[in-house]
Structure 1
Amino acid sequence: MPARTSGGHRWNWRSTSKLLSANTERPRARRSDGMIVEVARIRAREGAADALEAGLCRARGVISRAEGYRGSAFHRGIEDPGEFILTIWWDSVDHHMKGFREGPLFPDWRAAFAEHMAPPPVVAHYTTFVGEAP
């Protein structure tokens, strides 16, 4: 027979155990068939942050035509408005590094903002293990 709580309600250890384990499980990975995210950190030249932002907006129209491109979000720093973070989702690292960077669209991409950038950008690739991706 289930025990009674101080309020007189029945307590069942099995249902409580299931509830506790359901609330403490690690989040499950949300992968999308091998999709990866490129994260790029770009700094603007002194006094060129607004121009860099405008150039990156134009460049997004270029990269969106690349094979293997899944989506992107570009972010500008609040504490440091001269810093930009780009998150770009690709089908694979090869789609980014070989298909795009070595392909015909890359010169147009870079030309849209390069003169306003303080080189070099920092770029790395990641997999998504929890959360949503496009």
Structure 2
Amino acid sequence: MVAEYIRYQVAADQREALLAAYRQAAAELDAAPECLGYELSECEEEPGQFILRIEWTSTEAHLQGFRKGPQFAGFFAHVKGFYTSIQEMRHYHPTEVARSK
């Protein structure tokens, strides 16, 4: 498993539009076998600062599977308006330092 993190900074008047776009794009992630889960979080201290966490089976599955597969076009159509708002987009693998309840 690998986690992709996408960090967005959007203007206050674009906040609801970003949320709406990802509500629609979520259907494409749900249909993608490469996607294990996702979460879009907004910063409490800095409204308009969002982090999207997508869990993929692997980086290769994301880049070679999802991005070249049937769900990507629909996914991107929903969120492409926010592409210029991306501040970071990278893949991270978990380390042994972890705990979940």
Instruction: Please give the range of the TM-score, normalised by the shorter of the 2 chains.
Output: 0.7 to 0.9
* Partners of 1:45 and 1:118 within 8 A in 2: no
* Partners of 1:93 and 1:125 within 8 A in 2: yes
Give, in angstroms, the shift of residue 71 of structure 1.
0.8
- The answer to whether residue 76 in structure 2 is matched with residue 98 in structure 1 is no
| 1:63-95 per-position Cα deviation (integer Å, ceiling 9, x unaligned) | 121122111111112222212101111111011
Overall identity of the aligned pairs, in %: 30
Pick closer, same or farther for the CA change 1:79–1:118 going to 2, 3 Å: farther
RMSD, aligned CA: 1.9
- The answer to whether residue 84 in structure 2 is matched with residue 119 in structure 1 is yes
RCO greater where, 1 or 2, for CA within 8 Å and sep 6 or more? 2
Greater per-residue helix proportion: 2
Counterpart of 2:18 in structure 1: which amino acid? L
Q: How does 1:49-88 map to 2 (within 5 A)?
A: 49-88=15-54
TM-score (structure 2 length as normaliser): 0.82
Runs of 4+ in 1 over 6 A off after TM superposition: none
Q: How does 1:2-21 map to 2 (within 5 A)?
A: none
Query: For structure 1, which runs of at least 5 residues remain unmatched after alignment?
Result: 1-34
Give, in angstroms, the shift of residue 60 of structure 1.
1.4
TM-score (structure 1 length as normaliser): 0.64
* Partners of 2:9 and 2:49 within 8 A in 1: yes
Counterpart of 1:111 in structure 2: which amino acid? A
Give, in angstroms, the shift of residue 43 of structure 1.
2.6
Pick closer, same or farther for the CA change 1:120–1:103 going to 2, 3 Å: farther
- Aligned residue pair count: 98
Give, in angstroms, the shift of residue 55 of structure 1.
0.9
